[in-house]
């Protein structure tokens, strides 16, 4: 089975491939259902093409899955020369109007039907196959039993299923709630995730017909209350906005659903004939994308007997170290599981502190240490030129202003220099770990790691985003290593 991961920008695409994805899906500006993701534009096709060269055999899928208005069709056609610069293997679409356009201009690219099309039966799959689609991304309402029936009926059609991430409470993600409440249409990529806001249920009891509500969800009073129009929602951060609620004959899950997690059921997905496992999350962080992709990679490797289940389990357990809502299995086994709504999310015990870009070359490392020696020599010369009283005063300033007088970096046998992009605050009290594609985590401390300024050769007592930084470590770390810091609220 293919592992398909989300890439909201070029950096995330690199981590998708680095942490084990067979394929990644991206969006292009103006034509993706995740317009708040960075998406891809301008000359980023050059970086994407380079990544495809660095990771041969990996695939790139492009989501053009909005519902198109006429003006957007015109813009799509005008942007085709730009799209052709990307090494796209497949387009993910829901609007059939753009199918002949893509078939004409991208004859070698596959067509994948978006989950937004709500394809959930064998006859629909046959129809899409006749139109030239090679893969269907199943609507999330399909059960595993239905997936198996479809694969048996249309064995030459690839089946892709979401296996992890946030699920929209609407039918296959086709939601009007965001458009209704604040004019941002989910079908045009502007979803504000209104289903996940934190609401309070309000009631004017004087407007409730019949007897007083006794709290029983199945009582006549409760049904009368729900259908009366007297209920309203208030989002906690919008105290002056009230949204009316009306409950019909059938139950409607109004708020946020559980996050999907099928990592313990990959064998069932394989048995059902699923060809591709899709992770949701183009708007998620690099840390999320890397750890979730790595967990499913190891679980798949265990399923295919490339590693043992015991070796895979520590990586799978890392799923719980990223922020998430309670996990569930969606509609795959029973509808009741999918109907459960939840509020809030579990916070991660870790935060992403930085990313290692690459190892410094020998010449680059020599340059950093040369600057450190120059700094040391300059300081010694200035210190030796002082009279004893001035030296004493200087020593006192150094003790009291440690951030101003940072020691130069010393070369150590067996240590390595890495170019690093710091993303969050790291200081001497930070509890740090290195995360790599094939190592769950490695403790980093003063005994094996320090941070330095490559411009001056000084070591840092603390570092944060925007600081030029190299990591100097006794650890041998591959490119793509992430550095995480224990969240202050979990210390």
Residue 276 pairs in a beta bridge with 2, 160
SS3 for 298-349 is: HHHHHHCCCCCHHHHHHHHHHHHHCCECCEECCCCCCHHHHHCECCCCECCC
Look up residue 44 and give its two tokens: 């980023």
Q: Provide the 8-state DSSP code for 408.
A: B
Q: What is the pLDDT of residue 336?
A: 74
Entry pTM = 0.83
Query: What is d(CA 366, CA 104) in angstroms, rounded to the nearest whole number?
Result: 54
Q: What is the pLDDT of residue 380?
A: 94
Q: What is the pLDDT of residue 283?
A: 83
Q: Which residues contact 206 (CB under 8 A, 6 or more apart)?
A: none
SS3 41: coil
Q: Give the residue among 447, 453, 437, 438 at the shortest CA–CA distance from 475.
A: 447
Sheet holding 243-244, edge to edge: 199-203, 231-235, 243-244
Q: What is the pLDDT of residue 254?
A: 53
Number of helices (H), then strands (E), belonging to the chain: the values are 15, 22
Query: What is d(CA 81, CA 272) in angstroms, rounded to the nearest whole number?
Result: 39
Mean pLDDT by 10 residues, the chain (491 residues): 94 96 87 53 86 96 90 92 94 96 97 93 97 95 95 98 83 59 59 65 51 49 63 70 54 62 97 97 91 98 97 95 86 79 72 94 96 94 94 91 89 96 92 96 95 95 94 95 85 49
Let me know if 267 is exposed, middle or buried by CB neighbors in 10 A (0-12, 13-18, 19+): exposed
Q: Give the residue among 329, 352, 307 at the shortest CA–CA distance from 295.
A: 307
Q: Provide the 8-state DSSP code for 294.
A: H
């Amino acid at each position: 089975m293919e592992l398909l991961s989300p890439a909201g920008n070029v950096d995330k695409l690199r981590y998708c491939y680095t942490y084990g994805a067979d394929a990644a899906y991206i969006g292009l500006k103006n034509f993706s259902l995740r317009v708040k993701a960075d998406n891809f534009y301008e000359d980023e096709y050059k970086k994407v093409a380079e990544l495809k060269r660095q990771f041969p055999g990996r695939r790139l899928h492009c989501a053009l899955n909005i519902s198109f208005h006429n003006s957007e069709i015109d813009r799509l056609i005008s942007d085709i020369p730009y799209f052709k610069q990307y090494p796209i293997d497949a387009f993910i679409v829901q609007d059939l109007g753009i199918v002949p356009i893509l078939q004409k201009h991208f004859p070698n690219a596959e067509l994948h039907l978006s989950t937004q099309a709500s394809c959930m039966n064998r006859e629909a799959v046959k129809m899409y196959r006749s139109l030239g689609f090679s893969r269907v991304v199943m609507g999330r309402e399909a059960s595993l039993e239905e997936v198996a029936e479809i694969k048996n009926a249309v064995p030459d059609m690839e089946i892709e299923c979401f296996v992890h991430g946030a699920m929209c409470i609407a039918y296959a993600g086709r939601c009007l709630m965001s458009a209704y409440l604040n004019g941002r249409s989910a079908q045009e990529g502007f979803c504000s995730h209104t289903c996940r806001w934190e609401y309070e249920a309000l009631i004017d009891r004087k407007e409730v017909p019949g007897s007083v509500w006794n709290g029983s969800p199945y009582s006549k009073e409760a049904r009368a209350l729900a259908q009366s129009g007297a209920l309203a929602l208030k989002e906690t951060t919008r105290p002056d906005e009230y949204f009316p609620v009306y409950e019909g004959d059938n139950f409607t899950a109004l708020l946020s659903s559980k996050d999907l997690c099928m990592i313990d059921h990959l064998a069932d997905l394989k048995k059902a004939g699923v060809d591709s496992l899709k992770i949701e999350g183009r708007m998620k962080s690099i840390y999320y994308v890397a750890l979730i992709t790595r967990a499913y990679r190891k679980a798949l490797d265990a399923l295919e007997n490339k590693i043992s289940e015991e070796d895979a389990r520590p990586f799978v357990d890392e799923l719980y170290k990223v922020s998430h809502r309670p996990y569930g299995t969606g509609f795959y086994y029973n509808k009741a599981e999918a109907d459960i709504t939840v509020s809030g999310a579990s916070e991660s015990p870790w935060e992403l502190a930085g990313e290692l870009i690459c190892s410094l070359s020998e010449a680059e490392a020599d340059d950093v240490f040369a600057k450190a020696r120059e700094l040391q020599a300059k300081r010694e010369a200035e210190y030796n030129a002082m009279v004893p009283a001035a030296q004493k005063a200087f020593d006192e300033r150094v003790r009291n202003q440690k951030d101003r007088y940072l020691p130069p970096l010393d070369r150590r046998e067996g240590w390595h220099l890495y170019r690093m992009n710091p993303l969050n605050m790291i200081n001497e009290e930070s509890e740090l770990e290195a995360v790599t594609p094939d190592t769950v985590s490695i403790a980093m401390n003063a005994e094996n790691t320090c941070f330095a300024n490559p411009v001056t050769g000084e070591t840092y007592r603390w570092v944060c985003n925007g600081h030029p930084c190299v990591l100097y470590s006794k650890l041998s770390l591959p490119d793509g290593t992430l550095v995480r810091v224990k969240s202050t609220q979990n210390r």
